[in-house]
Amino acid sequence: MIARLGYSLLFYLAMPLVWLRLLWRARRQREYLQHLGERHGFHARRPARPLIWLHAVSVGETRAAEPLIRALLQAYPDHGLLLTHMTPTGRATAAALLASFPERLTQAYLPYDLPGASARFLDHFQPQVGLLMETELWPNLLHAASRRRLPMLLINARLSVRSQRGYRRLASLMRPALASLRGVAAQTAADAERLQQLGATATTICGNLKFDVVPGAAQLQLGAGWRQAFGRRPVWLLASSREGEEALILDAFAAMRVADLLLVLVPRHPQRFAEVAELVAARGLAFCRRSAGALPGSTTQVWLGDSMGEMAAYYALANVALIGGSLLPFGGQNLIEAAACGCPVLLGPHSFNFAQASEDAIACGAARRVGDAAEAAAAVSELLADGSRLAAMSDAARCFSQAHRGATARTLALIEGVMAPRKGY
């Protein structure tokens, strides 16, 4: 209790900085200034249906949760689903789901982890169960849920060695939070063990929900259309790139000697689209932007993928993809969507966010590790010159994706175990 009180006090003292950061982000993405009351637990309406609450902090978690959301809505036809986020891009990612289930899905921001805000949020929506995706462990929120006897599950849970070290320094705060969970659906045995060492009790290995995300037919058709338009022109994709990585790849790309090679850059965060465009222009490379509408011409060297929700199309187009966030120590982004699209993958040295999936993909021949940007460019040149090896990696990627599916059904079974009928708090 003392640790949580100290944490709450520091959070209150830091709120001016939190709001300054929100305003700073709004300079590039005005959506951060919308729904401000929700960030302190003030919400406009509550659906009449009993609610299942799922928190998916941003884009990746929201996409990963989609198969589970559909399964929950089918398994509990009398319930609505409250989907919370922390970022505008996460909120926007669920637009297609909202269009499919307008009467049953409600969106909101999860409030900041302050005692009053957490209490207002839970008392307003009164969910029957709370599902937190991956590593969203908020001490005040979990304490408020425990006081209201609200069963909470951590699903698709993962914890890297680096994150475990950080949580250990906050053991007096995080151990009670983890112990309050009714269950943990871990991605791997290693994730389950690390969480248990920090205080989680009821852990189950359910696999990674991202493997159950099937690329949309419309996106695959879009990518196939691009592929047909480009003919035999080779395409190298830098997918979900992070700050600093584009410059390294652009310099490596400029030194390559692969005829007609098109580099496709898709930054992870939309607020960086303009910044990345400036990086390309500063190097004198001929480029165009996806947002302009026209496809790259024969002399275009770089295509900036400044669009949202089209990653599957880019993977369907590419001959080979380097997964962003892995070249510099960000921990890597999700390689599973690339595998589902049959796209051969290159990984930089930093993939600790998806350690098990990365090692499994490398072991089965779906992915290849590179040390830096120059080694990535050399690997691309080598693979493009060896069509049979590239085709083998593509086949291995599809097999890897299919072999790891089933996490949705296992997670749903875990949720069903705590979904006893409840009448408020």
CATH number at residue 187: 3.40.50.11720
* Inside any domain, residue 273: yes
- Same domain for 281 and 412, yes or no, is no
The 10s digit of each residue's pLDDT in 372-392 is 999 999 999 999 999 999 999
The predicted structure's pLDDT at residue 420: 60
On the question of pLDDT at 358 being above 80, the answer is yes
- Same domain for 158 and 188, yes or no, is yes
- Same domain for 263 and 387, yes or no, is yes
- Same domain for 394 and 410, yes or no, is no
* Inside any domain, residue 423: no
The predicted structure's pLDDT at residue 425: 46
State the residue range of the domain holding 195. Answer: 2-207+406-416
The predicted structure's pLDDT at residue 45: 83
N residues, the chain: 425
The predicted structure's pLDDT at residue 99: 83
Mean pLDDT (whole number) for 40-51: 90
* Inside any domain, residue 284: yes
Mean pLDDT (whole number) for 234-254: 97
* Inside any domain, residue 425: no
Rounded to the nearest 5°, which phi and psi values hold at 132?
-105, 125
What average pLDDT is seen over the chain? 93
The CATH number of residue 319's host domain is 3.40.50.2000
Q: Which one-letter amino acid corresponds to residue 57?
A: V
Mean pLDDT (whole number) for 402-407: 93
On the question of pLDDT at 422 being above 60, the answer is no
- Same domain for 104 and 61, yes or no, is yes
The predicted structure's pLDDT at residue 28: 82
**pLDDT band for position 421 (50/70/90)?**
low
The larger pLDDT score, comparing residue 96 to residue 157, is at: 157
List alpha helices for 115-188, DSSP H: 115-125, 139-147, 161-168, 171-179
Mean pLDDT (whole number) for 327-333: 94
Mean pLDDT (whole number) for 130-137: 93
- Same domain for 229 and 200, yes or no, is no
Mean pLDDT (whole number) for 64-68: 94
Mean pLDDT (whole number) for 56-77: 93
Give the pTM: 0.83
> How many separate domains does the chain show?
2
Bridge partners for 289 per DSSP: 304
8 Å CB contact between 355 and 189: no
**pLDDT band for position 423 (50/70/90)?**
very low
On the question of pLDDT at 216 being above 90, the answer is no
* Inside any domain, residue 35: yes
The 10s digit of each residue's pLDDT in 136-145 is 899 999 999 9
The 10s digit of each residue's pLDDT in 71-81 is 999 999 999 99
- Same domain for 27 and 51, yes or no, is yes
On the question of pLDDT at 306 being above 90, the answer is yes
8 Å CB contact between 12 and 113: no
Mean pLDDT (whole number) for 85-113: 90
Mean pLDDT (whole number) for 213-226: 93
- Same domain for 185 and 301, yes or no, is no
Helix axes 245-254, 373-384, angle to 10 degrees: 50
- Same domain for 11 and 145, yes or no, is yes
CA torsion angle for 251, 255, 258, 261 (degrees, to 10)? 30
* Inside any domain, residue 135: yes
- Same domain for 45 and 70, yes or no, is yes
- Active-site positions? 61
- Same domain for 99 and 120, yes or no, is yes
The predicted structure's pLDDT at residue 129: 96
On the question of pLDDT at 328 being above 90, the answer is yes
- Same domain for 249 and 112, yes or no, is no
* Inside any domain, residue 212: no
The strand order across the sheet containing 287-289 reads 287-289, 302-304, 262-267, 235-241, 320-323, 345-347, 367-369
On the question of pLDDT at 66 being above 90, the answer is yes
